[in-house]
Structure formats: C-alpha cells, structure tokens
Amino acid sequence: MRTVTAAALLALVLPPRLLPHPLSVDILIGTVALLLGYATGALLERLPRIRSHAKSARVLAPGLLVVATLRTGSRWGELNESLGIAGSSTRHAVLAVFGSVLSAAAVLLAARSLRRLSGRQLAVVLCLPVLAGALVAARSSSGDREGSEFLSGARNSDAITAVTHRPATTPRRIYVTRGSAASVTDRVRKAVDQAVELNETTNPKAILIAVPTGSGWVNQRMTASLEELYDGDLTTVAVQYASSPSWLAFLRGGLGVRETTRELIGQMRARIDRLPTGQRPDLLVYGESLGAWGALPWLNQVDAALLVGVPGGHQAEGPGLMTLNHADDPVPGWRPQLSPVTFWRSSADVISSQSVPFGHGHHYGGPETAAAWCQVLRLPTCSGTSADQQPATGTPGHGG
C-alpha cells in the first residue's frame, strides 16, 4: 500500500501546472510527493481492512509510475512548445521519475539508519542542518552586491541617446543597503537626503521609488526602460529591507518591506511637497514580487505606480496605478492554504518561475514594463516607440 500511495501521489503532483520545470526541480518535488505518499500509505495500513489488501495492491505501483511518466512528459512538452523552449519531453519525464524514486529511496534508507544511532549521535546528526542554516544566515548579504550591481548598471546620457536618438541627461540612482544604518528610519532618511540633494542641483522630472525584492534586487531592465522614456531625467531610489528570497520573506511577514516602503514614500512625499510648485518632480513607485506587495497600502501618496508579479493576486486600484501579472505567473496565485496537491504543484511552479523566457512566469522584462508605464504616464516619448507598439497586458486602475 505504501508504494501504491507514493506512486499515485507522484502521478498527481509531478506534471507541471503552469510552467515547465528544470529537471532538478521535478526531482525535488517528485521526491517530496513520494515521501508524503509513502507516509500516507503507512498510516492507511493501520486500518485492518486496508492492511489485508496491502500486498496484493503493490502490483499497481509500476503502472502508476508509468502513468506519472506519461502525464509529466505530455504536460512538460506542451508547455515547452508554447514557450518555444527545445527539449525532449520523454527523456525529461523518465529522468524525473527515475531520479525521484532513487532520491526518495535514499531518504528512506537514511531514515532507517538513523534508528540505529544512539541518542547522542542522533542529536549531533540532527544539529548539522541547523548549524549549516545558521552559517548561511550569518553570511546573509548586507545588500552590498545587489546595490553595487544596481548602481554600476546605470548608463550615461550618451548611452541613452544611442538607444532613443534623442538628447538625454545622465540619470541618477540611489541605493541604501540594509547594513548602512541600524534602523529603517535612518536608512530611509539617508536615501531621502541624497535624493533631495540631487534634486537641488538637477531638478529631475520624476523620482522613482523602486521597492526591491526580498533579496534586495531591483529589476534594472525596468529601470533602464523608464530612464529612456524620461530621456535620463529621472532619479531612482531603492532602500533594502531584507536579504532573503521573496517567497521566504513573504512567509516571514515581509521582513520590513511595508514599514520601509511606508516611511520612504511618506518622507519623500513630504520633502517634494515642500518644494516650489514648478520644481516638484513626479513621485513614481515600482514594485516587483514582494516589493509590489509591500507598496500596495501606500499608493495613494504617489503620482503613478506600476506593480508586477504581486503575491496573493492583489491589484493596485486608483488613478495612475497599474498591475501587471503574467497569466502563467504562479506567484500571484500561490498560497499556503491551497490543497496539498495544488500547493506542491504551485510551489514547483514558483521555484521554476524565472527559468522561462521574458514575458512569462515571474520573469518581467524591459519592453513590457515600458509599455505599462506608457499606459499610465502618457509621456510624449512613448509615441512611436517600441513600448508604445507593445501594449502591456496588465490591469490599470480606474482612471489610470
């Protein structure tokens, strides 16, 4: 019975739902499915009526593994073809099922070996993963790498002109890392002071608050496309609030994304409103993934905003606001409260959501975000550009 329930759960969970998965992801999710199915079968065998038929039911397991292989290969090939990705669906499915079975068997053998250890030996073995996790956490980035990449990715006026064929100025970028100050308030004040200081000398048309993902990453394709639409006359500000993957930070309550975004938008709005009317730049907000979720409650204080890949499927509503979620992006629909089979299939999609071409999954590129900004901002530079010719597929807020 244990092998039957394990194979049955594998056949249900392994076929991809929205996106094709890398082989490593399918082996991981397949291993989890086999172990959960095996544990479920062990519980069912405690029932006398089921225990009496357990041995005869084992013959079903090989057939269910074949079903898992066929279903996985068919769905994986279908999704790959729709995205224009090459690959042998049969080979992938066979390796995914075979790898999952071997991996699950290794886990079960290891579990049986642990039973033979003394209490002290078992404590040492169980502490090793905890120690490894602590070491990884201790090495969490303070944001220096993400910030350096974001700042070094800025182009000068000549580089922007080479793309737009229009006169341009050099855009400004500000990135304040989590390790640069002890508190959220201090980090935000540091960012706002830098932006205001730049504003006094450059007087940009707009200030963009780019809310990073959980790791501190900012989508430079989006930033670059908006800098082109403003002919470089844009200051972009980002403040790091965490250094964990967005899904992990989301499960842990956001790790300060909403607190940081609230203070940054509030302080920036207040400083802009103190300027003379003719010198006030527009205040824009861009959020992606967890950054989009963090910006949602404070959008009534900005002039325009674009949110993409919003966890929980939330929508930005109001004038000048737009939400862009791909139809095959699993992040907006992912929730821990889903049914077990749907949860694991959705989780596999989330893990694989950036292993697909731009314009699919959780992989948002420059042209589509530029098109979305054009729908919201109606800039003169949008007319006749590639962004104007490629309308975004998002949902604008009423009046946006």
Is pLDDT larger for residue 385 or for residue 28? 28
In the predicted structure, residue 386 carries a pLDDT above the cut 60: no
Residue 16: domain span:
2-138
Same domain, 75 and 156: no
95 and 233 both lie in a single domain: no
User: According to the model, what pLDDT value does residue 391 have?
Assistant: 44
pLDDT at residue 336, rounded to an integer:
77
352 part of a folded domain = no
Work out the average pLDDT over 217-232: 94
Phi/psi of residue 363, nearest 5 degrees: -115, 95
Average pLDDT of every residue of the chain: 86
The type of residue at 167 is P
Do residues 165 and 270 both lie within one domain? yes
What is the distance between the alpha carbons of residues 1 and 90, in angstroms, rounded to a whole number?
28
Could you tell me the pLDDT band of residue 140, with boundaries at 50, 70 and 90?
A: very low
In a domain, 342, yes or no: no
Say yes or no: 165 and 105 in one domain. Answer: no
- Mean pLDDT along residues 321-331: 94
The helix/strand/coil state of 384 is: coil
Model confidence at 222: pLDDT above 90: yes
Q: How confident is the model at residue 337 (pLDDT cuts 50, 70, 90)?
A: confident
Indicate the residue among 138, 155, 173 that finishes a domain. Answer: 138
- Report in angstroms the alpha-carbon separations of 393 from 89, 104, 356, 363: 30, 41, 18, 14
Distance, CA of 168 to chain centre:
32
Stretch 287-292: mean pLDDT = 93
Q: What is the pLDDT of residue 400?
A: 32
Are 127 and 160 in a shared domain? Answer: no
Note whether residue 335 is domain-resident.
Answer: no
Give 394's DSSP letter: S
pTM equals 0.84
**Among the listed ranges 28-32, 179-183, 348-352, 372-376, which one has the minimum average pLDDT value?**
179-183
Confidence band of 128 (pLDDT split at 50, 70, 90): low
Phi-psi region of 232 (alpha: psi -120 to 50; beta: other; left: phi over 0): left
Question: What residues have CB less than 8 Å from 242, skipping those under 6 apart?
Answer: 178, 214, 215, 216, 249, 255, 256, 257
Q: What is the mean pLDDT of residues 327-333?
A: 93
CATH of the domain at 315: 3.40.50
385 lies in the same domain as 297: yes
Residue pLDDT, tens place only, 230-254: 999 999 999 999 877 776 666 666 6
> What pLDDT does 356 receive?
92
Mark which of 138, 165, 191 sits at the end of a domain.
138
Q: How far apart are CA 375 and CA 392, in angstroms?
A: 8
What pLDDT sits at residue 253? 63
**Residues 283 and 155 grouped into a single domain:** yes
Which residue type is seen at 124? V
| Token pair belonging to 389 | 């010719």
Same domain, 98 and 187: no
Q: What is the pLDDT of residue 13?
A: 96
> Two tokens at 380?
């003169």
Question: Based on the domain organization, do 175 and 52 belong to the same domain?
Answer: no
Q: Which of 126-135, 147-156, 228-237, 369-378 has the lowest mean pLDDT?
A: 126-135
Residues 152 and 43 placed together within one structural domain of the fold: no
Domain tally, the chain: 2
- The residue with greater pLDDT, 54 or 94, is 94
Last residue of a domain, one of 103, 119, 138: 138
Is residue 92 over pLDDT 80?
Answer: yes
Examine residue 184 and state whether it is found in any structural domain, yes or no: yes
Please check whether residues 193 and 121 belong to one and the same domain: no
Residue 20: which pLDDT band, with cuts at 50, 70 and 90?
very high
Residues 207 and 170 in one domain: yes
Three-state SS annotation for 293-333: HHHHHHHHHCCEEEEECCHHHCCCCCCCEEEECCCCCCCCC
Q: How confident is the model at residue 283 (pLDDT cuts 50, 70, 90)?
A: very high
Residue 127 scores a pLDDT above 80? no
Nearby residues of 237 by Cβ (< 8 Å), 6 or more positions away: 174, 175, 191, 192, 194, 195, 207, 208, 209, 210, 264, 268
